[in-house]
Amino acid sequence: MAGLASLQAALGHEFSDASLLEQALTHRSHSAKHNERLEFLGDSVLNFVVASLLFERFTKIDEGDLSRLRASLVKQASLADIATRLSLSQYLRLGEGELKSGGFRRPSILADALEALFAAVFLDGGFDAARKVIARQYESILVNVDPKTLGKDPKTLLQELLQARKLDLPLYTVVATHGAAHNQMFEVECQIPKLDIKVSAGGSSRRAAEQSAAQLAIAAIDALTPAKGSGRSRARKSAQLSLPVAVSQETK
């Protein structure tokens, strides 16, 4: 475990009770005083703080959209990204087995430890301290949130994109399946005849393959309409969609 001063600096919180920090970083494979109870508490303080940040920032959007945005911001992949930015893996305390199998890189372990850290800050410094630490990690993320698109899956986004241009819905066709029944791969084609677009993608389920194909179709539409011609807003949308995080949620 690396020295914890740099982690505390990155979080913006210096612990009065270092044992809380240590426990938050301890996986159950390491010792009995592990971080799972803290994770329970941290999950809920995180959910609340992100809810209140969104509530303040987006005063016009309804509760359904607020829920979608929050789900996207607190999902495992988003938390693992933050944990990676904090270099959390080098501070984790894992058991032998998890260490050898590379557990310090597992998104679930990273995300759980991050939630536990937030709880540790809350227990150590109270709610305002936890809110400050969480807000700091989400500051740069919130600036780039597009409330119209974040957290929507590629098929929904593609449909909305086409409807905005008054074009027909895309056509999805399974063009091939590979492998045995218990381990099938589906190849799906997505066609948008009016735009002369035909792309295909694979996935372990029909739904997953359709989502990946929709993602490619969106990229193809973006390629047809250069950013400088299509205005600010679409350019920003397409930049977001090309983030790997947005896809991985749907294609797994």
Q: Which residue ranges make up the site for its own copies (CB under 8 A)?
A: 36-37, 39-41, 44-45, 47-48, 51-52, 55, 62-63, 66-67, 122, 127-128, 131
In 76-184 the beta strands, taken as DSSP E runs, fall at 171-178
CB of 62 to its own copies, least distance (A): 7
> Which residue in 22, 81, 98, 115 is the catalytic one?
115
Please, which residue, 40 or 168, has the CB nearer to its own copies?
40
Q: Answer for the pair 14, 7: CB distance below 8 angstroms, yes or no.
A: no
Please, which residue, 62 or 196, has the CB nearer to its own copies?
62
Phi, psi at residue 175, to the nearest 5°?
-100, -15
Angle subtended at Cα 172 by Cα 166 and Cα 176, rounded to the nearest 5 degrees: 160
CB of 123 to its own copies, least distance (A): 9
**Separation CA 217–CA 200 (nearest Å):** 9
> Which residue in 43, 124, 189, 222 is the catalytic one?
43
Phi, psi at residue 189, to the nearest 5°?
-105, 140
CB of 217 to its own copies, least distance (A): 32
160 annotated ligand binder: no
**Separation CA 30–CA 131 (nearest Å):** 29
Q: Answer for the pair 191, 197: CB distance below 8 angstroms, yes or no.
A: yes
112 annotated ligand binder: yes
Asked about 115 being catalytic, the answer comes back as: yes
In angstroms, the Cα distances linking 147 to 61, 184, 233 are 8, 35, 12
CB of 54 to its own copies, least distance (A): 9
115 annotated ligand binder: yes
Asked about 43 being catalytic, the answer comes back as: yes
Q: Annotated binding site for Mg(2+), which residues?
A: 39, 112, 115
Binding-site residue numbers are 39, 112, 115
Q: Which residues are catalytic?
A: 43, 115
